Amino acid sequence: MTSEIRSIKKRDVKPGMFVHGYGCGTFHDPFVAVGRFVETYDDIAKYLPEETEQVEILTDKIFEKKIKNDHSVRSAATAAADLAEALPAARRIHEDALDYARKFIDDVRNGKEINIAEAEPIIGQVIESISTNESAAITLAFLKSYDEYTFTHCINVNLYSLLLGKALGLDSDELKDLGLAAMFHDVGKGRISNTLLNKPGKLTDSEFETMKGHSLQGLKVLSNIKGLSEDVLCGVFEHHERYDGKGYPQKIKGDEIHKFARIIAICDVYDALTSVRVYKQAMTPAKSLSLMFKWKGTDFDPEYFNIFIRIMGVYPPGSMVQLEDKRYAIVLETNEAFPLKPKVKILFNHRMQPIISECVDLASCSDDGRELKVLRQPFPASMGIDMKQLSRFLV
């Protein structure tokens, strides 16, 4: 599962590779980190100076594995049909989880005890939903309304953490505990005023210290509840610790940080970056992963992060892409072997007007040998599109 850094000639760099950096790290040829996916040949010129000869790329099964034959690949139409079938049940589970999040956040704000017994079946259902159709579960994380960050964040971090935990081979008891820790990771923020939580702009030093206190506040809130394991408490208390020891509150590092907290840290940052907040625009999933890649090994457990990239793909299910022919599509399913070539459902023309939909596997050529590529990943909010409304095109 681990990935390696491999040095190759610049002329051998191809779209689909992840460029770690270039240069030898010597005084005359210092190493420059890039941390970008090469999507087109133009990107090679954009990211790498002309005089560069050697380039370091990230090798991993996810980036280099080849599909042996087309028969092993599900068609885009099958992926669309499976997704349409799985979405209604996944949506019910997602809505139940959101209702629960609204309720427990309210309870914490009002000083009431959280009802853990209600959380367990919800986490069990999310685990089942992942096993049934992973893409449907991820799609709902992206088809979100932008005015509900507080609730959707708990639910999305719960979902992403369970996906990562499952890929790491956690057993069902561990997954349930991981789900509880992820669901309640920011419960301590219920003890912080809304004015501070939603303050636009930079926080003062003392405001930042108060904000950082939410890890300890979370531990206090949950310590009073019977039936929660030590692992859940560690997952919550340590979710802002960083792999290099520069996090808070204890400044512990590496494997000293509980594995639940190392998982939640990645999922927490990814959801925050890909969401609109009062004080910032959302970043596209591809940009978020590129940015987070630079923090691999400093902020995040490198092995866990590599697996997270493999699960989410550069273009995750439910995200929107614009194709080279300018049409817009929603991603149905990632192609593990070709992270830049997902299966998509094309829905709109270049003016965002609905057209007769077409399901396309970007990893396959059309009958005339034409290859359709992703041009860019637009962010729907900046185009005035409510992603939640888009889900009706998928069922």
Chain residues binding Fe ion by CB under 5 A are: 186
Specify the residue, 249 or 378, whose C-beta has the smaller distance to Fe ion. Answer: 249
- Can you tell me the distance from the alpha carbon of 276 to that of 149, in angstroms, rounded to the nearest whole number? 8
| Beta carbon nearer to Fe ion, 235 or 313 | 235
Q: Are 143 and 391 in contact (CB under 8 A)?
A: yes
Between helices 172-183 and 116-132, what is the axis angle to 10°? Answer: 120
Could you tell me which residues are beta bridge partners of residue 321?
A: 329
Task: Report the residue number, 86 or 261, with the smaller CB distance to Fe ion.
Answer: 261
Min dist CB 310 to Fe ion, Å, is: 25
Q: What DSSP string runs through 121-155?
A: HHHHHHHHHHHH-HHHHHHHHHS--TT-HHHHHHH
Least distance from C-beta 188 to Fe ion, angstroms?
8
Residue closer to Fe ion (CB basis): 56 or 186: 186
**186 versus 241: smaller Cβ distance to Fe ion:** 186
Least separation, in Å, of the C-beta of 286 and Fe ion? 24
**Is the Cβ–Cβ distance between 394 and 138 less than 8 Å?**
no
- CB 186, min distance to Fe ion, A: 4
Nearer to Fe ion, 186 or 299 (CB): 186
Give me the torsion for CA of 45, 46, 52, 54, rounded to 10°.
Answer: -90
Please report how close the Cβ of residue 272 comes to Fe ion at its closest, in angstroms.
9
Mention every residue, 6+ apart, whose C-beta is less than 8 A from residue 361. 73, 75, 76, 79, 335, 341, 343
Rounded to an integer, what is the distance from CA 228 to the centroid of its chain?
27
Residue 268 C-beta: closest distance to Fe ion, Å: 6
